[in-house]
Chain A
Amino acid sequence: MNEFLTQFVIESRELVEQATEGLLVLEKSPNDAERLDSVFRAFHTLKGGAGIVDFAAMERIVHAAEEILSAARAGKRTLTTALVGDCLACLDQVVQWLDVIEQTGEFPSSAEKKKADETWLAEILERNPGTRARVATALQFIPDADCFYQGEDPLAQVTALPELLALDIQPVVAWPSLNSFDPYKCNLVLTALTAASMSEVTAHMHGHSGTCEIREINPAQTTPQDLALPSQARGVLNEQRALLSHATSANLAGFVTSAGLTAENVLRSCALPEAAAIVAQATEKSLSERSPEPLLESIAQLLLPKPAAVAETAKVSGRSEAAAQTLRIDARRVDALVRLTGELTVAKNAAGHVAKLAQEEGNALAGVLKDRQVVLERLIAELQELVLGMRVLPLRSVLQRFPRVVREMSVSLGKPLTLEIEGDDTEADKAIVEMLFEPLLHIVRNAVDHGIESPGQRAARGKPATARIRIRAARQADQVIIEISDDGGGIDVARVREVARTRGVATEEELRLTSETDVIDLVFAAGFSTAAKVTELSGRGVGLDAVRTAVERVGGRVSIESRSGDGATVRFSLPFSVMMTQVMTVEASGQMFGVPLDAIVETVSVPRTAIVGIGAAHAIVLRNRTVPVVDLAALLGLRAAMSGEADATIVVTSVAGHFGGLHVDRIGQRLEVILKPLDGLLTGMPGITGTTLLGDGRVLLVLDIGELLQ
């Protein structure tokens, strides 16, 4: 079964449980609005799940139940016991389907079809109960109609099967009237059971014409039937016991004979001839001993829950084994584990610090400490990888929502669309996957709304009428890349310039100096919206800047590439996991700060004289590029701008394509840290993205370079 279906089954079971529990409470207190809401939501989610996996039958019945609940919520209907019963019956059906899906990995409809295909097997097994113990292979052979002309003798071939146990001959289609009957046309289905192995049978049947199905009969397929007594049969047997308990010496013989015979027949009809034989013996014994006891006891033995229980337990344990392979854990516990692992990383860093101190002081234990620390580092890295892996989800869980969304857009805008999704099995941290829907939806809406031309325009441009939107996801090293591309008109650069100017996103001067690529990037700027008219889909006042903000919040980037007339591609580069951040520590005015490593381009040491003033600001020229430089300490208000004779240490950073230099006192070390977002009083403090603990216990503030250099 694919993991998608597995997930569906697991979730559906949980929802069924939740709904059942709620319904039972509602039955007692129908006015519990909160409970009603929760049950309604469970049904609603169940329906949604069924819709996603395209299981129409389940979607339909759950929808029917949801309607009842919806009416109850609206106060149009009272939730009577009968209605609760109907909803519960609906859930029972769902559970049965889920069982089928779990066992076969297929939807019940196809599973039933398969079962129908296999009825020949069940039938011949049933008709020949005596062969159960020996049968190893079953075969159904439908020779070609013209096989007689080819000199074949199918019946001889089958009767010559090694260790044949049973043979059944049936017409393929009902016999025609004798006048139109063609004796040279083979119209037979030959079904056989043999004790020979599947490979022997296959070899024997080699070279036949027609269709031949060969099935291996594993003991498991026959034993449960042997053991299990259908409930109806149990009922009949119980009645015989009751009958026997009323037996008197006068009517004993009649009662015993009749009960014994009935029991025998029941057992035979359940294909349990051995059990029937035992009952027959017991009947005789009862008759000869003039006591109902032997027969009563033999029936009681059959009714013992043991055999049925064995079958039942096997089934149940099979389920729990499957369940054990996927353990559902409260996300909070996983988060706690992530946090603890984070602390462990900090402790490891501290150990590294101690080892370094020991080395500096020439301590004899320094070497050993260093060795231990390296081992610790490796183990913690592994632990971290595993723990972070627990939070990983396939992107499918968000991408699967798009086919429906795109379909709706296509209908409402009258633009024929196809959606291609690639790489939906790409995984990313849960936090990333969960935040993706909104930004992706925004991009897709924009593409459909502004990018893709009307069918008329497409025809005029010689493009196929059906426009194509493609969402492609892939993992690239530490990054998850998601590209949304369309084959629409692309971005009108002149129009972007114009809008940017009229809306004051950029000045005329800036626009003149900006390259085409950078102009296109302006669509992500706050206050920008190119929609000439506000449509239902996009242009609701939330611009693409919201997308950029959302993506950058989790440490990702958004870029856009336009091929004029050929569409556009929006690219999300997201971190695979949000937890680990590589930082470099820098020192300014005696304080340590972290700079995210992915923002750092290089570190340079330049003569102080190389920092030149440009107006109120400073800059250096680095390989023919002017890089604005700010003094970190001064910027943070720690002290006035530095002066002195020594060389200046500059950390050159790049955020969203903008270069900037941070003038710092000293460069520290590279650390891999778990960044904690600012909370409490620090929330919203500008210029800081988060904090982490240093090896020596100090708090390291990690700088938000983009914000600082703005």
Chain B
Amino acid sequence: MTIKVSAAGNIELIGICSSDEGEVLLQHLLETPHMMVDWRGCESAHTAVIQVLMATRPRLLGPPAALLLEKWVQPALAATMDK
């Protein structure tokens, strides 16, 4: 399990998040809509996971550990969330 709720009450994405974990992330966010998502420990995230972030627009705690996520996905997410 690389998605869990931390002691601080944030949803943490840790290590490699696979496509199945999109569902898990969505469930967490549905249960507690205002939770922050901490992806500082995220080394890679499947498109399905990123898509959940886009659709649910949680507040993100970053930057993510993966360079590609930081360089490309974070700005793109920020751009859509601004809208």
Interface residues of A (CB under 8 A from B): 143, 148, 152-156, 159-160, 164, 167-171, 175-176, 178-179, 181, 183-184, 186-188
Contact = CB atoms under 8 A, between A and B. Distances in A.
A168 B26 contact: no
Nearest to B56: A178
B73 A167 contact: yes
A186 B23 contact: no
Given A170-B80, A171-B54, A175-B55, A155 B73 contact: yes
Contacts of B44: 156
B50 to A, nearest CB: 6
A159 B22 contact: no
A188 B47 contact: yes
Given A178-B29, A178-B30, A184 B72 contact: no
A188 B25 CA distance: 18
Contacts, number: 72
B60 interface: no
Contacts of A188: 47, 51, 54
A186 B47 contact: yes
Interface of B: 19, 22-23, 25-26, 29-30, 33, 44, 46-48, 50-52, 54-56, 68, 72-73, 75-77, 79-80
Q: Which of B30, B46, B47 has the most CB of A within 10 A?
A: B47
Q: A-B pairs with the 6 shortest C-beta distances?
A: A183-B22, A155-B47, A175-B55, A169-B76, A167-B72, A159-B68
Nearest to A176: B55
A152 B18 CA distance: 11
B73 A159 contact: yes
B61 to A, nearest CB: 19
A164 B71 CA distance: 10
Given A183-B22, A184-B22, 13 more contacts: A152-B47, A153-B47, A155-B47, A155-B73, A156-B46, A159-B72, A160-B68, A168-B76, A169-B77, A175-B55, A176-B55, A178-B33, A186-B48
A170 B52 CA distance: 12
Given A156-B47, A167-B73, A169-B80, A178 B19 contact: no
Given A159-B68, A169-B50, A186-B47, A181 B55 contact: yes
A167 B68 CA distance: 11
A183 B30 contact: no
A187 B51 contact: yes
A302 to B, nearest CB: 29
A176 B29 CA distance: 15
B80 A184 contact: no
A180 to B, nearest CB: 11
A175 B51 CA distance: 10
A170 B82 CA distance: 12
Which has the most chain A C-beta neighbours within 10 Å: B19, B29, B50, B75? B19
Contact of B55 (A156, A159, A178): A178
A175 B53 CA distance: 11
A143 B30 CA distance: 26
B48 A148 contact: yes
Contacts of B56: 178
Nearest to A147: B47
B46 A183 contact: no
Contacts of A148: 19, 22, 46-48
Nearest to B24: A183
Contact of B48 (A167, A176, A179, A184): A184
A171 B52 CA distance: 11
A152 B44 CA distance: 14
Given A167-B72, A178-B30, A155 B50 contact: yes
